[in-house]
């Protein structure tokens, strides 16, 4: 879910470095990583115990979510997937399996089912956030688009506190992520090598 807006000082260079590293990943490495994401994600209590998970469909060299989405769906978890709106906000629809996805703008895959409205995310017990890095405090570096900043603000306005989880490659867990006042820490990160939980605030 990428949009274009100015980057704060410090974030742009880190984003470029991380995206360059992702661009160097080959098909075999991506496939192995996707298997790890699914296995360790299913073991994470924040996802394993969730009745509803708001997630997203990975594209390109993003950490692969498809195996995890299918496993959660097969387990009976209600999975919500985003639909990008013209103003870069997110609508949501229920994931009905791989056959229920269609190509959309910006190279995205979106669910084909009925749209539930932007507030549907407030029903989630866990939210899988896209990202480029996370640090030891759980601070996440996003793509800089702002769509998920809106999601997090919507959750806060609704008084909701779902578990926030990010999937990342192992080398994207870094010492420090530049942050702004509106940035939210995540509660857990899943890599192909395992999961780290930062606790609930």
Annotated binding site for ATP: 11-15, 140-148
C-alpha span between 97 and 116 (Å, rounded): 17
Rounded CA separation 40/32 (Å):
13
Residues 6+ apart with CB under 8 A from 145: 1, 2, 3, 4, 5, 88
Compute the distance between CA of residue 10 and CA of residue 145 in angstroms, rounded to an integer.
Answer: 16
- Answer for the pair 144, 1: CB distance below 8 angstroms, yes or no: no
CA-to-CA distance for 74 and 83, rounded, in angstroms?
22
- CB-CB contact of 172 with 166 (8 Å): no
Q: How many CA atoms lie within 13 A of 180 on its CB side?
A: 11
Task: List the binding residues.
Answer: 11-15, 57, 62, 140-148
Residue 134 DSSP SS3:
strand
Annotated binding site for substrate: 57, 62
């Amino acid at each position: 879910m990428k949009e274009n807006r100015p980057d704060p000082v410090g974030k742009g260079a880190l984003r470029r470095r991380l995206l360059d590293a992702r661009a160097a990943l080959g098909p075999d490495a991506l496939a192995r990583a996707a298997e790890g994401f699914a296995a360790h994600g299913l073991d994470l209590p924040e996802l394993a115990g969730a009745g509803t998970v708001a997630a997203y469909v990975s594209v390109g060299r993003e950490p692969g979510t498809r195996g995890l989405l299918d496993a959660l769906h097969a387990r009976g978890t209600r999975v919500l997937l985003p639909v990008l709106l013209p103003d870069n906000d997110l609508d949501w629809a229920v994931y009905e399996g791989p056959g229920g996805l269609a190509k959309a703008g910006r190279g995205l895959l979106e669910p084909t089912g009925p749209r539930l409205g932007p507030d549907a995310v407030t029903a989630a017990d866990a939210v899988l956030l896209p990202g480029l890095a996370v640090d030891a405090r759980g601070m996440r570096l996003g793509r800089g688009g702002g769509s998920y900043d809106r999601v997090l603000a919507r959750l806060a306005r609704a008084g909701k506190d779902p578990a926030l989880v990010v999937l990342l490659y192992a080398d994207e867990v870094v010492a420090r992520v530049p942050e702004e006042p509106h940035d939210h820490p995540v509660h857990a990160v899943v890599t192909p090598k395992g999961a780290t939980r930062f606790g609930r605030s």
